[in-house]
Amino acid sequence: MRTQQAQDSGDTDGLMHEDMHSDNLSHTCHGERALDFSPVYNPYPQATTRYPAQIIVDLAAIRDNVRSLRERNNNAQVLTVIKANGYGHGFLPTALAALAGGSTWFGAAQPHDLLILREVGIGADRAHMITWMWTATEDLAAIARADIDFSVSTLSQIRQLAQLAHGIGQRVRIHVACDTGFGRNGFTPQALPEALDLLKKLASTDPADEVADKPLLLVGQFSHLAVADAPDDPLSIASTDEQINTYQWFSEQLDQAGLTPSVRHLANTAASLTRPEISLDMVRPGIGIYGYSADPAMGLGLAYGLKPALRLQAQLATVRTLPANHAIGYGRTYITQHESLLAIVPVGYSDGIPRSASGFNEQGWQHTEHQGGPVLLGTVRLRNGGEASVIAHVAGRVCMDQFMLALSAETVEIRDHSGNLVELSASDYQSLISQIREGDTVLLFGPGRGSEYGEPNLEEWAASANTITYEILTRLGSRFPRIYENAREVLSEADLAMLEHAGIALGK
């Protein structure tokens, strides 16, 4: 970061300038505390006594994302994917918020979370459910009795579920998985004829048929798209088109066999956002439910009318001064160039903070630059009435239970919310930094457009870690208290009681 010498004090009109001088601050930084921590507030003191970091989930955002996805896809049914604990958000609150938004289906890889939803009171009259990664070792009878649908990808699965149905005296609901080119699950076109022969003996699409005659009720047909998240790449477009055509071929074969399913579903988040023409009977968004697009190439979810629902914040543990030329962390990968304030954020890779989002500098022993994940320290008010955010980045390697911020005029970045760099005098930088206190709440990421516009987001952390947003979300640890905002606005009294009975913390 460039610094502005204190004697440079020209008149400025603020937001029209890329770099703003220190006279844009609404008051001097000396004396009273100029940093405003309201953007990273912690209104839940009880949570800070449990753990010095919190996940805050906006249930209104999840509800609204479901509504937006449904409207975008010709009012097709929406299956909310709640696997991996609702992408780290908490599967029960997520499910209830999704129901409030109009979701009619839930899906998960393993059936465990779906069984819990049934046990707490979300019956088949409120939502259908499907598991697509069940195994023969599980209590399949309990899953079937809970009115949870099964995907089938092999002949042995079809036979096993038919035997199960006879054993429990209840038809088992199935969805035929079609391998249209993803290569993970489903019948290939070559394997389909034998599967259809078996299905014609054991399955029908008529709910009135008896279990003795047709033990399986064929409900759905689905597949998964491999590269729909690259909507501007010609090769990916052609590949997705080929998958769609293959899916249509599968549909024709099922129709000709007299096994037309009532629910056909193909579109994942990427296709739900970019290809409404394949919404069919139902779309199956995963990360889109939580406010994100499927890939950086698609841009932010905000561009599609989605809002990220999750904020991750923490309280600083220790704050102390380090001299210049002082190493930070394992491997001495970061060495201070100037006297710096060292702030410890008490979360690390055991909490799901990616170690690959560590920060290196040329002075470190690896002699390479790598910008670590961003952190919002607070905001300052400008003379023009606007606000600017104070941003720092991880310095040194992320540790098991903590990571470090090295704060100086050269490392702290101040941006207004239009994306302009705010430049202060060296003395004002120093004064701002000196106001950082132990116990201050900082924001690792939230629903904003990114550090350039004043709020770090998950996409920046994923870019720093060279990974995907999915991985970070789903690895957020159980040590984080999860607090749910807008629950009383979004949920019915009965659903609120369900959360409170489960001991789930509700925010404002």
Binding residues: 184, 400
What are the Cα distances from residue 102, in Å, to 78, 87, 94, 161, 265? Answer: 8, 19, 12, 30, 17
What are the Cα distances from residue 284, in Å, to 24, 130, 225, 279, 297? Answer: 48, 11, 11, 9, 20
Q: What is the dihedral of CA 33, 451, 481, 489, to 10 degrees?
A: 90
What the block records as the tokens of 66 is 């479901």
Closest CA to 266 of 291, 285, 293: 285
Catalytic (active site) residue 83:
yes
Token pair 């208290």: residue: 481
What are the Cα distances from residue 323, in Å, to 222, 337, 341, 407, 422? Answer: 60, 9, 9, 11, 26
Show binding-site residues for substrate.
184, 400
Catalytic (active site) residue 330:
yes
Closest CA to 64 of 31, 97, 36: 97
What the block records as the tokens of 458 is 């998950």
Pairing of strands 310-315, 53-58: antiparallel
* Euclidean distance between CA atoms 4 and 30, whole angstroms: 17
How many CA atoms are closer than 13 Å to the CA of 75, on its beta-carbon side? 0
Instruction: Reduce the DSSP state of residue 139 to 3 states and report it.
Output: coil
Closest CA to 164 of 136, 188, 193: 136
Burial class (CB in 10 A: 0-12, 13-18, 19+), 154: middle
Pairing of strands 319-322, 77-81: unpaired
Are 367 and 380 spatial neighbours (Cβ–Cβ below 8 Å)? no
What are the Cα distances from residue 218, in Å, to 31, 131, 472? Answer: 72, 14, 36
DSSP code string of 352-379: T--GGG-BB-TTSTT---B---EEEEEE
The catalytic residue among 41, 200, 201, 330 is 330
The catalytic residue among 44, 83, 214, 429 is 83
Token pair 């996940």: residue: 55
Q: Where are the beta strands (DSSP E) in 41-94?
A: 53-58, 77-81
Q: Active-site residues: which are they?
A: 83, 330
